[in-house]
Amino acid sequence: MPDGTRTRGRRVMSQQHDQAHGPGDDAGAQLLRDFRRWRREQAFALWVTGGFIVINILWWLVFAVQHKSLPYNELSTDLGHFDFGKLIPSLFLTRGVFQLLVEAALMMLMLCLAEPILGAVRTIFTCIVSAVAGVFVGLLLCSAVSALLSTSSTIYSIPFTLSPVTLVVGGLMAATAFTGQLWRRRIRIVGYCAICVVLLYGGNPGDYCTLMAAVIGQLIGRALAGPPQTDQWHWQHASSYEARHILGAVGVVLALGPVVATTSRAAAGPLTTLALIMSPSSVNSGKLAACMHGTLTSGCFTQYELARAAMPGDVVRSLLPLVVMLVIAVGMYRGRRTAAWFAIIFYGASAIFTLCYYLLVPYTLNGSVRGFSGTALWSCVVNVAVPAAFAIVTAAELRHFSLKTSARAMRWGLIVVVVTFVACAAVYLLFAGLCSSQFSPRPSFAVVLADLPGRFLPIGFLTHTRLAFLPTTILASIVYQGVGIVFWAVLVVASIVWLRVGDIDDEHARSRAEQLVEAGGESMSFMTTWEGNDYWISHTGRSGVAYRVLNGVALTTTGPFGDPDEWMADLDDFSRFCSEHSWTPVFYAVHQNARDHLSSLGWHSLLVGEEMVIDPASWKTTGKKWQDIRTAINKAKRDGIVDEFTTYDECPHSVQRQFEEISEQWSEGKALPEMKFTLGGVEELKDPRVKVLYAIDADGTVQGVTSWLPTWRDGRIIGWTLDFMRHRTDSPNGIMEFLIARMAQRMHDLGESSPDEKVEFVSLSAAPLTGLDSSSDATSDDDSNVSGTLILQHALALVADFLEPEYGFKSLYNFKKKFQPAAYPVYLCYADPAKLANLGIAVLRAYLPNLTVRETLSMLGSMKSDK
C-alpha cells in the first residue's frame, strides 16, 4: 500500500536518524529504533486505541469499586423507544474483556492502515463524518427494510447497540481511494463481505450503521482523491494469485458467519437461528405442542427455533458444515481446483435445498396451504441468495484454480458421499414412514419427505420455518438427529482427503523432481518444479521430464533433468510413455543437442526463441556498446537507488508487500490474463532457493524486482536464470538495466573472490515465441516437413503478434541484446504433423490457461484495428 507524502518524509528523517548509529549496534537496539519509528508513524492510531482501552477499564473499575453491576441496559436502545443518549456510549464502551480485545484490535488495524495514507487530520475528519452520517442513514435504512418486509413491530422492539468499529471503518474505506489496485480490492471486497455477513447473521440494527459508515467513508475518500485514475478495478484482469486469495478470504468470512450468529444478542438477521444455541431461553413444551397442533400461532417460530437448537444432534449437524466451508476456503486460497468445484457444488446445493425447504414445507404441513410471511420470505431470499452468489462467482472465476486432485480420489470420494447421502435419506424415510407413531404429531409420508432436506441443512438455514413434528422416543431421536451428522461427518472427511490426496501426490512428485533438478539440469530446468506440471521419472530414478497434458498433447517444460547421461534416452522413453497414454509428445524449449537427437529419429522442429547467456567471467561495461548500461548504473547511483540480493523470505514484510503490489500493477495493466508455463509470478518468487534482486530507493520504495532461478550440477549451483522481471509504472528509466547489470557484476565479483563458488553463466532466459519473427516471413529449419512446420510456425507467429501489444516479447528480446549476450537457440520438437492444430492450441493454453473467449475476441479486434 503506497505511503502518503507525509509518511515518506517521516521515513526519510527516520532513516537519517538511524544512519547516525553505527553498524555495530546490536539487534535489540535496531528493533527498538524500528519500534520508535513505527510509533511515530502511527501516533494517532495508538492514542485512539489506547484511549478506548483506558476508558473501558476505568468504567469497569468505577462500578467494581462501588460493588455494582455494570449497567448494560444503559448501552442499548431500540427503534420503538429510541434514546440517543444511550446509543452514543455504546460506541466507546464494551460488555466484556473479549469484546474489548476484538474491538481494540480492529480499531488499531483500521487506523494503522488509514493514517499513513490520509494523515491524522483527514483521518479524524473522515471517521467523524462517516460515523455520524452512517448512524443516521443506517437507522433510516433499517427502518425502511423492516417496513418493507412488514416486520416493523419485531425490529422496533430489538435492543441494539453501535459497534466501536463504526467510528473508524469510514476512515479505512476512504483510504482505499488512495491505495494501489492490490490493496484497494482486498480491503473493499473482504471488508464489505465481513460487514454483510455480520449483518445477515447478527441482525443488530447497529450493523446497518456500520455498513453505511463504510459506504460514506468510501465516497468521502473518492471525493478527496479526485477523479479516478486509469488504475481502476477490473476484476476480470486480476491475476490468478490474487483471485484465489480473495475468493478464499471471502470463503473464510462466509464460514465464520454462523459463529457471529452464536454471539449475536439481537438475533434478528435472516441467518441467526444458530444464535439460539447459546440463548438462555428454553423451550416451552406446552406452547410448542399447541403450535405444532395448530391451536396457537403467536410466538411459535421462536419455539420452533429453540426446539431445534435444544437438540444436540442438530447443533452438531450445524457445526460440521462450518468445518467443510473452512476446508473449502483454505483449498481455494491455495489454488485447488477441487476446492473451487467443491465450493460451487456445496454452495449451489445449499441454495437449492434451502429453496426447496422453504417452498415445500409450507404447502405440505397438515395438508393445507400456508403462505409466506414477510419475515419468512426475507429469510428465504437471503438464505438462497448468499450461497448462490458465491457459487456463481466461483464458477465465473474457475479458470484461476489450476491445481488438480487425483481423479481416482475424486471418483471414490464422490461415490462414498453419494452413497452415504442416499443411505441416510433412505434410513430416515423408511424409519419415519414405518414408525411414524414414534413422532408427534404423527406425520404422513408426504410431510416426512418434505422434511427430508431439513435433516441435512444446518438449523441456521431454517429460520422462520415451521417445525412439522418431533421424535418422542430415544430411537426416533437418534435417527431424526443422526442421519445429518453421519452425512456431514463423511463429507468433512471426504473434503479433507480430496484436498490432501492431491497435495500429497503433488508433494511427492514435486519433491522427487526438485531432488533431480539439484542433481543436474539446464538453464531453465528449475521451471519444472513449478505448479501445474506432472512428472515422468526414468526407470532408474535418476532423471525425469516435467510435462502437462493439454488437448491430448503432452507438452514438456524444457528438456529432461537429473543425470545428464540419461537425457537422450529419456527423450525416447518419455515418448513411449506418452504413446501408452494416447498422448502426443511435444518437447518445448529444448536446446540444440536434444533437437539434433530427435531430428535423427525423424522428429520435426521449430525454432521458438533464443536464450541470451552472459559469461560472468568476461563481464565488463567498457566501450561504446555499453553506453546505455553505464548510464543506467550511474543514474541509479545519483538517485540513491541500491540493489539487494536475497530471497523472498529474507525480505522485510514491507518489501514483500511491494513485490505483490508491483506484480498486480503490471498484470492488471494488461487486457489479457497473466501468462504462465515458462513465466513465473509471485508464487514462484517465494521459493527459498530462488534469489531475488531488487532496487530500492532512499525512501524505502521498491522500484524494480527480478528473480533468478538456480541451475545445479552435482549439487553445486553453476548458473542463474532470469525469470520474474517487473517494475513500477513510474520507476526511473533504466531500472531493469541497472538490476541485470548488477547481477552480472555480482557474479563476476563472486568468481573473483570465491573461485569455489564461481558460476558459469547468467542466463537472461528466452522471451517466448520471439524466434518466430512475423507470420509473413516465417521459415522452417526442418527440411523434412517444410509445409507442416511452416503452418505451425505461422500459427504460433500469429499468436506472438496477438500477444506482442500486451506483453512486448520482441521488445524484451531487443532489450536483452543490450547486454551483449551469447545467443543459443531453443526449439519445439514434435513427431506427429497430424497433431499440429492441437499442438498450437496446447502451447497457447499453456501460456494463457485463463484466456476466455471474450478476451480472445477482444484480442482479435484490437489487432484488426491496429492494422
751 class by beta-carbon count within 10 Å (0-12 exposed, 13-18 middle, 19+ buried): middle
**Closest by alpha carbon to 684, among 347, 366, 67, 239?**
239
Q: How many CB atoms lie within 10 A of CB 357?
A: 23
Grid cell listed for 294: 395448530
**Closest by alpha carbon to 190, among 251, 265, 236, 107?**
251
Containing H/E element for 3? none
3-state secondary structure 330-390: HHHHCCEHHHHHHHHHHHHHHHHHHHHHHHHHHHCHHHCCCCCCHHHHHHHHHHHHHHHHH
CA 1 to chain centre: 17
CA 796 to chain centre: 32
Grid cell listed for 422: 442416499
Contact 629, 818 (CB under 8 A): yes
**Using CA atoms, how far apart are residues 538 and 360, in angstroms rounded to an integer?**
59
Q: How many CB atoms lie within 10 A of CB 662?
A: 24
Q: Given this model, what pLDDT does residue 497 score?
A: 82
**Using CA atoms, how far apart are residues 439 and 476, in angstroms rounded to an integer?**
7
pLDDT digits (tens, 9 = 90+) for 590-647: 999 999 999 888 888 888 888 899 999 999 888 888 888 989 999 999 989 999 999 9
pLDDT digits (tens, 9 = 90+) for 649-676: 999 988 998 888 888 777 665 555 566 7
**Using CA atoms, how far apart are residues 186 and 175, in angstroms rounded to an integer?**
13
CA 68 to chain centre: 49
Q: What's the whole-model pTM score? A: 0.61
CA distances, 700 to each of 31, 419, 662, 734 (Å): 17, 58, 14, 19
**Using CA atoms, how far apart are residues 744 and 742, in angstroms rounded to an integer?**
5
Contact 724, 739 (CB under 8 A): no
696 strand-pairing partners: 642, 702
Contact 764, 613 (CB under 8 A): yes
**Using CA atoms, how far apart are residues 828 and 842, in angstroms rounded to an integer?**
12
**Using CA atoms, how far apart are residues 5 and 9, in angstroms rounded to an integer?**
6
CA 720 to chain centre: 30
Q: Given this model, what pLDDT does residue 643 score?
A: 94
Longest dimension (CA), the chain: 100
**Using CA atoms, how far apart are residues 440 and 438, in angstroms rounded to an integer?**
7
645 strand-pairing partners: 693
Contact 738, 641 (CB under 8 A): yes
Contact 346, 328 (CB under 8 A): yes
| Crossing angle (nearest 10°) for helices 5-19 and 97-118 | 90
**Closest by alpha carbon to 185, among 683, 807, 668?**
668
As a dihedral over the C-alpha atoms of residue 712, residue 718, residue 723, residue 724, rounded to 10 degrees, the angle is 100
Q: Given this model, what pLDDT does residue 476 score?
A: 87
Grid cell listed for 158: 430489538
Can you tell me which residue has the cell 428465504?
A: 380
Instruction: Report residues of the chain scoring pLDDT below 70.
Output: 1-34, 70-75, 79-80, 145-158, 182, 201-203, 228-242, 257-315, 357-358, 360-380, 382, 458-468, 501-507, 509, 667-675, 767-810, 834, 850-867
Q: Given this model, what pLDDT does residue 277 score?
A: 35
CA distances, 768 to each of 400, 757, 844, 863 (Å): 22, 31, 11, 19
**Closest by alpha carbon to 11, among 703, 702, 699?**
699
Alpha helices in 226-335 (DSSP H): 240-262, 285-292, 300-309, 312-333
Can you tell me which residue has the cell 539487534?
A: 27
**Using CA atoms, how far apart are residues 793 and 767, in angstroms rounded to an integer?**
16
**Closest by alpha carbon to 532, among 434, 399, 629, 706?**
399
Ordered domains of the chain (ranges, CATH): 42-225 (1.20.1540), 241-515 (no CATH), 616-759 (3.40.630.30), 772-866 (no CATH)
Containing H/E element for 297? none
Q: Report residue 851: phi and psi, to 5°.
A: -70, 130
N-to-C CA span, the chain: 39
Residues 240, 246, 248: CA angle, nearest 5 degrees: 100
Q: How many CB atoms lie within 10 A of CB 14?
A: 18
**Using CA atoms, how far apart are residues 76 and 90, in angstroms rounded to an integer?**
7
Q: Given this model, what pLDDT does residue 33 score?
A: 66
**Using CA atoms, how far apart are residues 843 and 608, in angstroms rounded to an integer?**
11
Q: Could you please report the per-residue DSSP string of 249-260?
A: HHHHHHHHHHHH
**Closest by alpha carbon to 249, among 151, 183, 161, 162?**
183
**Closest by alpha carbon to 235, among 668, 599, 604?**
668
CA 230 to chain centre: 24
Alpha helices in 766-808 (DSSP H): 786-807
